[in-house]
Amino acid sequence: MSSVSLSEPGRDLAAGAGLEDAPRYALAVDLKPGRGDVVARMRANLPAPGEQVELHFRVFAGLPDLDAGLEVDDIMVNGDAVEADVDGSLLTVPVPESARAGRVEVALRFSYRLPEVESGGGILGGLGDTLDPAAVGLLARHQGGATLGHWFPVWLPPASAAEPIPDGFGDIGNFPAAVFRARITVPEGFDVVSGGVNVEEQAADGRVTFVEEGVGLRDLGIFAGRQRANEEVANDSATVRVTGPRSEREQLAPVGEEAAASLATFAATFGAYPWSELDVVSVPLGSGVAGMEWPGMIWIESGTFAGGIAGMGDLGDLEEIFEDLDLPPELSDVLEDLGLDEFEDLGLPGLEGLGSTREFVIAHEVAHQWWHALVGNDSISAPVVDEPLAQFSACIHFEQAHPDDAGAACALHTDGQYQSMRALGEPDAPADQPTDAFTSSLQYGGVVYGKAPGLYRALGAALGPDAVLAGLRAFTSANAFGVASSDDLRAALAGAAPERAAEVDALWQRWIEEAHGDEDLGAGEVPGGLDPEDLEEFEDVLEQLLESAGGR
């Protein structure tokens, strides 16, 4: 399949995956970022429904917590008007019997208003519901622009989870690879960046229309902003384009170099990057989230982009904050009473290694271009497929780029998440379960991002790293532009060493299906000897401390 959005290897992968039969979306949106108004039309050309009597679409703007005022109307199937139903974020469109034999075209109009979002959410935000999809800022307006993620009705194949209001934490993506062409109209002075490529710009009457297209994308993420700076970094795999606020212009080159380096690592390790561009964009994200992936594009939370920590801005080194901060007496007294008057008394594993945060986040999000973008999975029912692989991949990049520091950085961002979860009172759990089966975002992060990546280290120790990477290359090749399950991943790993398949299966069971994290990684101690009932007070004090540090 020919498209400027595909790299040369991507064209070969697309041809082998049969993307000629993929869903096709034609979108036209009038976006007013300042007010957050979104008014759009969509035509979706979809595979033959067969025995299906209705089609389901995920409309993220319909989540009640967003309070976006979603309206969907003028719905037609193959040119005939139909009455559809919107229930939360689920749009159900009936398919007339006459339209079920061949490909079907659904046309509709939709509108809503983007909610406002502020970056951050607190360093201990994981204690609450902070990874609720509605709280992350994927679909939002903010000072200087707008983020549009899951912004249009996306078709859900019959096997996909189709709850009206998805429960759980993290991403809700479970979409097939598709072909996109979008016309995005914004006020003059705004730039548009998408996961596709720009093929045309048209200006008239104080408005600019950006025409974007992409092949093999599962979604079309969009950022619209003004007063932005841009920089391109050359890479053998793709053009890496970085976009950030002018105030962070000096960060563009280092961010681009970090993204390009990880892109090169993963292309050499797992197989070619399929698209011709990768956009890296600094955006405000809520709830302490440091990054978000879209096919062909990654978003990095603005504080993390600037070299800080999600939810804390660019405060810099925590050790210096504790040493240099002139704390109000009441905060000092409370910290001393809790046994936390010294930085090291916090007891959270790996805090001294936070300098690797941005590069690790970038590597993690770039890795998602393989695990979830190229090889798709249902993030609601099987996050164990993509998230642990993205963590493991970031560790691989650090081993190649920073061999002396890789062990500490990887331990901080994987084992440290699990140990911190345990230190804060959450129990271990199996990793292979839907996101709504976890008790909190803290447990979800500790188990899926923290413990589960240990499987790949354990497999490497047992089989050798080369066998593990061979299994992952085979997994990529077999599922490029498709959707893989945890069983598919398990089989690919076993296939890399068929004579030791029973050993692979036993390790999978231990790390993914059972709860042995304390034995394998160690259980962290509650900070400073705190009892779990004191954790809420600890969080309040720490947030006040960080507010006091905000002027540094």
pLDDT at 164: 85
Calculated CA dihedral for residues 243, 246, 248, 249, nearest 10 degrees = 70
Sheet holding 90-94, edge to edge: 85-87, 90-94, 54-58, 154-156
Q: Mean pLDDT per 10-residue run, the chain (552 residues)?
A: 91 93 98 97 96 94 95 97 96 94 97 83 44 78 93 92 78 90 98 98 97 98 96 92 95 97 98 98 86 97 84 48 52 55 46 71 98 94 96 98 92 93 92 93 94 98 97 98 97 97 98 97 63 55 46 35
Task: Report yes or no: 383 and 448 within 8 Å, Cβ to Cβ.
Answer: yes
Half-sphere exposure of 400 (CA within 13 A, CB side): 15
pLDDT at 336: 59
Q: What CATH class is the domain 326-549? A: mainly alpha
pLDDT at 550: 39
pLDDT at 47: 95
pLDDT at 315: 45
Burial of 388: CB neighbours in 10 Å, binned 0-12, 13-18, 19+? buried
Q: Would you list the DSSP string of 52-120?
A: -SEEEEE-GGG-GGG----EEEEEEETTEE---EEETTEEEEE--GGGSSS-EEEEEEEEEEPPB--SB
pLDDT at 523: 82
Q: Three-state secondary structure along 161-227?
A: CCCCCCCCCCCCCCCCCEEEEEEEEEECCEEEEECCEEEEEEEECCEEEEEEEEEEECCCCEEEEEC
pLDDT at 332: 58
Beta bridge partners of 207: 187, 204
- What are the residue boundaries of the structural domains of the chain, listed by start? 326-549
pLDDT at 540: 56
pLDDT digits (tens, 9 = 90+) for 448-465: 999 999 999 999 999 999
Q: Torsions phi, psi of 74, nearest 5?
A: 50, 45
pLDDT at 547: 45
Q: Hey, is 348 helix, strand or coil?
A: coil
pLDDT digits (tens, 9 = 90+) for 486-545: 999 999 999 999 999 999 999 999 999 999 999 999 886 644 444 545 555 555 555 554
pLDDT at 472: 98
pLDDT at 130: 53
Contacting residues for 14 by C-beta, under 8 A, at least 6 apart: 1, 6, 215, 216, 274, 481
Q: What is the C-alpha separation between 369 and 10, in angstroms, rounded?
A: 12
Reading phi first (left if > 0) and then psi (alpha if -120 to 50, else beta), residue 496 is in alpha
Of residues 296, 252, 298, the one with CA closest to residue 274: 296
Of residues 473, 427, 423, 421, the one with CA closest to residue 449: 421
Task: Report yes or no: 115 and 66 within 8 Å, Cβ to Cβ.
Answer: yes
- pTM value is 0.89
Helix (H), strand (E) at residue 42: strand 37-46
Asked whether the CA dihedral 9, 13, 18, 24 is positive or negative, the reply is negative
